[in-house]
Structure 1
Amino acid sequence: MHILNIGILAHVDAGKTSLTERLLFETGVIDRLGSVDEGSTQTDSGEIERRRGITIRTAVASFTLGDLRVNLVDTPGHADFVAEVERALGVLDGAVLVLSAVEGVQPHTRVLMKTLRRLRLPTLIFVNKIDRAGARERELLADIRRRLAPSCVPVNTVTGIGGRAAVTRPVGSTQEAAEILAERDDGLLELLVEGGTPSADLVRAALAGQCGDGVTYPVLFGSAITGQGVPELLDGIGTLLPAVSRSALPDEPARGAVFAIERGPSGEKVAYLRLRAGVLRVRETVVFHRGQNATYDGRLTALSVAGAPAQREAVTGDIVRVWGVPEIRVGDHLGGPGPAGQAHFTPPGLETVVRPRVPGQEPRLHAALLALAEQDPLIGTRTLAGGDTSVLLYGEVQKEVIGETLARDFGVEADFEPSRPVYFERPAGTGEAVEEIQRHGRNTFMATVGLRVDPAPPGSGVDYRREVDLGSLPPAFHRAIEDSVHLALREGPHGRPVTDVVVTLTRTGYSAPESVAADFRGRTPVVLARALRRAGTIVYEPCHRFEAEVPLETFGAVTASLAGAGAELRDTRRRDDTWVLAGEIPAAAVHEVELRLPGLSHGEGVWWSEAAGDRAVRQSTATR
């Protein structure tokens, strides 16, 4: 038995969930097609997902193709839930990127494809909705090659595109495909140069090899509604994407990654993980890693293998649901720490303060938000001075969904303050400070601490290092220093969290038996604050990458509004009777611009934005 874990990715409304339903129907998993409009789909099981018609949580469904078991991971398409997509990428063997034949290449499609190309994840491109008016084939294929990837090979073609009678058929000639594949295949290139005609089998084998390497992308046209092109897609999944052998080596330790959390009917925590090696059995105790240092044990009380719920053990390649580990969180790794630097998308750039509508429910609200943070660690809840709770967000839709979830699942109605940007500080240079043991005076600390701060690459977060011997202090004192460093970095010289920094412990000292851990907890923030002031810090604000398409006559009004919101235009291009504007805008201004755009563009403007990077802010707004 071979196994293939694939993700279905798309810009919102491209038909991703409908395609998932069609694949399950065609392979006999379900006997009736679900409808997004009716809220009857298999993977959008939540009440909010069914009512809104969007995917919010990653879901897994399975089907078989001969001796191949395919686990299908349906991910959100809305940019506000990009964190769900990011977690799914870490467990996939391949992907299907869905486009609409009508709307074509949309902004979020380009972001997803850029990530897939960077990861070299084997990917099929499925062009959906060929039965809709306005659907295109050759023009859209050229646009895909221009805006997504030049090495795209069409596998089928369409007759009668743009109507209910649209049908697909295999591409008649292999010449176009052979010429594209020959750029990376010397044997195929030599055959073409000599005037030979490559066989269909040879071209198919070359396509499978280059698709498996993540450098060439088969393109298939079809319709999830009518079923056209779906058999060719299933064939492509089975023959063009690289499956793994479902196996287990003797005595190989179990290794895997947790990529989703849900709550069972009784409120118990259920974790989804991809098993990369070894065997996982019920009632055995395993070790989970969080980050590079923290570990905890978990005893599995139950497990369920995707596609084979009757199996009593999971092996390499399986996606498995496990019960019985209350500490488990998304991002934890089984059997060893995960690789560093796995983030593929920008972290949330907005923050809001949430309060219960009914006074006295603050503890209940905080507990509910902590439970949601277990499912989505990037929510990043924290308690503020005065008892309020803040939540990190990607956008306003996510805020609305959190509010509905709190009311429906936890019985807490909440009010949210207007979202504000998450400002943060980065060191501008290097700074160092030392405090020696002090035996006299009011602020006596029986601890010597020396720290150096250095800038780190953007997106790297906080890195703590030691230049002293581990044996220079008792372990409890080392833990006190490291914990205090992370706590102190929550508020830098300008009152903002400090990130992209390397903090190095350069000097230590203690006096036995007088010194205690509290001495190091009290001294470390003082030393770190002094080192940060000497290094200097710059405050940054999160930004969004945006695209807006507006009528020609509204160009001036829209660009003036964007400039007033602090946007920087990077590209303007004319497309038929519209202008397409692209650039960067502060995250704090996105919602206001979205609200203004319909009035400025006579109701015809189209807007898209996504969290993407940051920029330094003026000193007047930097300090809190």
Structure 2
Amino acid sequence: MASLESRRILLLLGPPPPPLESREIPTPAAAAAPTEEIDRRRNLAIISHPDSGKTTMTEKLLLYGGALQQAGAVRQKAEQRSTQSDFMEMERERGISISSTVMNFDYEGYRLNILDTPGHQDFSEDTYRALAAADNAIMLLDAAKGLEPQTRKLFEVCRLRGLPLFTFCNKMDRPALSPYELMDQIQEEFNLESFPVLWPIGDGDRFKGVLDRMEDVVHLYQKPVKRGGKAEVVLIPFNDTAKLRELINDEELYNKLIEDHELLNELIEPLDMDRVLDGELTPLFFGSAMTNFGVQLFLDKFLDMGTKPTSRDAFTKDTTDGSGNDDDTNIVSPQFQEFTGFVFKTQANLDPKHRDRLAYVRVVSGVYEKGMKVGHSRSKAGKKYNLAQAQALFGSDRSSIDVAYPGDVIGINNPGMFGIGDTLFTGADRVAFPGIPSFSPEKFCYIRSPNPSDYKSFRKGIDQLLQEGAIQALRQRNDDGGGPLMLAAVGELQFEVVQARLKNEYKVEALMEPLGYTLARWADGGWDAVDKADADGKLFGIMIVQDRWARPVLLFRNDWKASSLTEDEKDLQLSPWSQPPDFEG
């Protein structure tokens, strides 16, 4: 039976995609994306509990990938630059990641798309959406703390998504748990076997380097001379025992390495990549992102082991006859001849001077070409949108691109019609990938501007931030916009982000008044079902509001009240998630 936490995550994620009883869409090879371009792409999401070194790890991957000359730090000192992935004012002030970011770069003939995600649970919705766009995930552990609550939650999501999972035990430059203890935790908590690829030599001040078990070579490190630079490394074949003993210069660590090498070879089965890709085995790495020990090794190994862009389930509909009949469930492969992609994130004010809005699109199949016209899964059949340009993303930096291929994450201008979960496509078949539902909010507050003269800027800021999907707007029934505005979010920090961004990006103040409700449910039966339950006296103590599409939402003070209503009122079907409705635009 699934754990309570697993069931909660399933509830937050919304309904799973339908079972795959499908046919694969035929793929004329002549019109597909070039195979060599698909094969050289790798897509990686980085997940962890807060303060496990995730953003630092991202920076060091960029450093060794050649995308940066000097890595930044989350809490920077005078001579360090800020991190590329944490670019918001609040992120820099607090030293935490608030929003997922994308970094695209080329390395050793590969094209990498790295998604750096927030670790704090109040921003977990953004993380889950980034995982929807990923083909691989790396789980970062603090080697001194092992598995932590948010790590467990995010692992459940990776398992639900079927993502190959790599594990990096970070902060080995500090006193750490035994590597065997960390392996046992992963096995016991997740029922997931691990295969040590890199094995540590010591920890804390005695952390010397790692053994590459795939090549049987020891990498001994020295801290970089320049802060933020690359670590100096000496490579020694394991069988060169005399030189190994001399350079380790610690008899206890040397003997422990010899013993571990023999033990691991006896106890651990050879690496089975099929089990890795099926999510049954995790390649295990040890190192220190802060001191750069083992980071480049991980990057090189991941390029060999990580999966290339994968196929996706989708609904397709032939619209050539205008009937709009019956959706078919299909598999859209990266080789499919038409362009398809889906929006997993929207962002306002990457460039505050221009008040721009960007939709992050994961390319699934075909080729994006500058100026192409695409259909939109929530627009009427036949309506096309011109993608005048797309941009490669590198944190808040962007550069125009003419083409993009499956596995790429690109940014496109979003005048307001593209929402999270929307599908863009070319061709006669209307394509829609399974949507990305909004989480069930657990925090609620009224928000207003204290200065009437700021109202126009306040409304513009709120509207653009709402489109990012981290917060939701609720109003009293039949309120056409003149009444009090209520915000709903997964975590309290989301409200602080709204206040900070309104002040920093839109130059307006905002006052918030918390409300004592703890969960929201959407009434699938519509207003008729709500009115009937209300007339029967079943909604006493429950707040009735509407979402931005005027759909009924019920706010509860506790789970018990929501469960009682569901049991008593069979005609009132409640859902903890919502998706944008179809529209004719």
Using structure 1 for the length normalisation, give the TM-score: 0.63
Q: CA deviation at 1:488?
A: 7.6
Map of 2:157 onto structure 1: 115
Q: CA deviation at 1:463?
A: 5.7
Q: CA deviation at 1:33?
A: 1.4
Secondary structure of the 1:86 match is helix
Map of 1:327 onto structure 2: 417
Whole-Å Cα distance in 2 between the matches of residues 91 and 497 of structure 1?
Answer: 35
8 Å contact kept, 2:475–2:545 = no
Secondary structure of the 2:204 match is coil
8 Å contact kept, 2:370–2:401 = no
Map of 1:210 onto structure 2: 275
Q: CA deviation at 1:281?
A: 2.1
Name the Cα RMSD after superposition: 3.8
Map of 1:369 onto structure 2: 462
Structure 1 residue 254 and structure 2 residue 339: aligned? yes
Q: CA deviation at 1:53?
A: 0.8
Q: CA deviation at 1:64?
A: 3.2
Deviates more, 1:25-34 or 1:243-252: 243-252
Secondary structure of the 1:244 match is coil
Higher RCO, Cα 8 Å, sep 6+: 2
Map of 2:376 onto structure 1: 288
Whole-Å Cα distance in 2 between the matches of residues 333 and 13 of structure 1?
Answer: 34
Q: Deviation string for 1:333-381 (max 9, x for gaps)?
A: 11245444655x84221111111122454454233211101112x4111
Structure 1 residue 137 and structure 2 residue 179: aligned? yes
Secondary structure of the 2:184 match is helix
Map of 2:135 onto structure 1: 93
Structure 1 residue 298 and structure 2 residue 385: aligned? yes
Q: CA deviation at 1:66?
A: 2.4
Q: Deviation string for 1:411-468 (max 9, x for gaps)?
A: 111111124325556xxxxxxxxxxxxxxxxxxxxxxxxxxxxxxxxxxx6668xxxx
Aligned pair in 2 of structure 1 residues 120, 101: CA closer, same or farther (>3 Å)? same
Aligned pair in 2 of structure 1 residues 209, 4: CA closer, same or farther (>3 Å)? same
- For residues 76-87 of structure 1, the aligned pairs below 5 Å read 76-87=118-129
One-letter amino acid of the counterpart of residue 275, structure 1: V
Q: Deviation string for 1:22-59 (max 9, x for gaps)?
A: 11111211111101102700111111111111111111
Whole-Å Cα distance in 2 between the matches of residues 141 and 3 of structure 1?
Answer: 30
8 Å contact kept, 2:518–2:558 = yes
8 Å contact kept, 1:96–1:126 = yes
Q: Deviation string for 1:87-119 (max 9, x for gaps)?
A: 111111101111101122110100011111222
Map of 2:473 onto structure 1: 381
Whole-Å Cα distance in 1 between the matches of residues 360 and 554 of structure 2?
Answer: 40
Map of 2:112 onto structure 1: 70
Q: CA deviation at 1:226?
A: 1.1
- Structure 2, gaps ≥5 residues long: 1-36, 214-259, 312-331, 568-585
One-letter amino acid of the counterpart of residue 280, structure 1: Y
Q: CA deviation at 1:315?
A: 2.4
Q: CA deviation at 1:617?
A: 8.0
Aligned pair in 2 of structure 1 residues 418, 221: CA closer, same or farther (>3 Å)? same
Map of 1:570 onto structure 2: none
Map of 1:354 onto structure 2: 447
Whole-Å Cα distance in 1 between the matches of residues 177 and 75 of structure 2?
Answer: 21
Whole-Å Cα distance in 2 between the matches of residues 352 and 227 of structure 1?
Answer: 43
Q: Deviation string for 1:150-201 (max 9, x for gaps)?
A: 31222222122122644221346587578665xxxxxxxxxxxxxxxxxxxx
Secondary structure of the 2:417 match is coil
- For residues 135-534 of structure 1, the aligned pairs below 5 Å read 135-163=177-205, 165-171=207-213, 173=261, 176=264, 203-204=270-271, 206=272, 208-244=273-309, 252-262=337-347, 263-265=349-351, 266-290=354-378, 297-306=384-393, 309=399, 311-323=401-413, 325-335=415-425, 336=430, 338-340=432-434, 342-343=436-437, 346-376=439-469, 378-384=470-476, 387-424=483-520, 494=539, 496=543
Whole-Å Cα distance in 2 between the matches of residues 616 and 178 of structure 1?
Answer: 56
Whole-Å Cα distance in 1 between the matches of residues 150 and 310 of structure 2?
Answer: 33
One-letter amino acid of the counterpart of residue 411, structure 1: K
Whole-Å Cα distance in 1 between the matches of residues 490 and 54 of structure 2?
Answer: 21
One-letter amino acid of the counterpart of residue 62, structure 2: L
Secondary structure of the 1:237 match is helix
Q: CA deviation at 1:388?
A: 1.3
- Structure 1, gaps ≥5 residues long: 182-202, 426-460, 465-481, 500-524, 530-536, 544-565, 567-585, 587-613, 620-624
Using structure 2 for the length normalisation, give the TM-score: 0.66
8 Å contact kept, 1:8–1:16 = yes
Aligned pair in 2 of structure 1 residues 300, 165: CA closer, same or farther (>3 Å)? same
Secondary structure of the 2:514 match is coil
Q: CA deviation at 1:276?
A: 0.7
Larger radius of gyration: 1
Whole-Å Cα distance in 2 between the matches of residues 4 and 326 of structure 1?
Answer: 30
Secondary structure of the 1:421 match is coil
Map of 1:522 onto structure 2: none
8 Å contact kept, 1:288–1:296 = yes
Aligned pair in 2 of structure 1 residues 219, 617: CA closer, same or farther (>3 Å)? farther
Aligned pair in 2 of structure 1 residues 327, 411: CA closer, same or farther (>3 Å)? same
One-letter amino acid of the counterpart of residue 72, structure 2: G
Aligned length: 438
8 Å contact kept, 1:403–1:413 = yes
8 Å contact kept, 2:336–2:365 = no
Whole-Å Cα distance in 1 between the matches of residues 491 and 381 of structure 2?
Answer: 31
Secondary structure of the 1:299 match is strand
Secondary structure of the 2:115 match is strand
Aligned pair in 2 of structure 1 residues 303, 487: CA closer, same or farther (>3 Å)? farther
Whole-Å Cα distance in 1 between the matches of residues 381 and 475 of structure 2?
Answer: 23
Q: CA deviation at 1:7?
A: 0.3
One-letter amino acid of the counterpart of residue 369, structure 1: I
Whole-Å Cα distance in 2 between the matches of residues 91 and 489 of structure 1?
Answer: 41
Secondary structure of the 1:418 match is strand
Secondary structure of the 2:44 match is strand
Q: CA deviation at 1:485?
A: 6.8
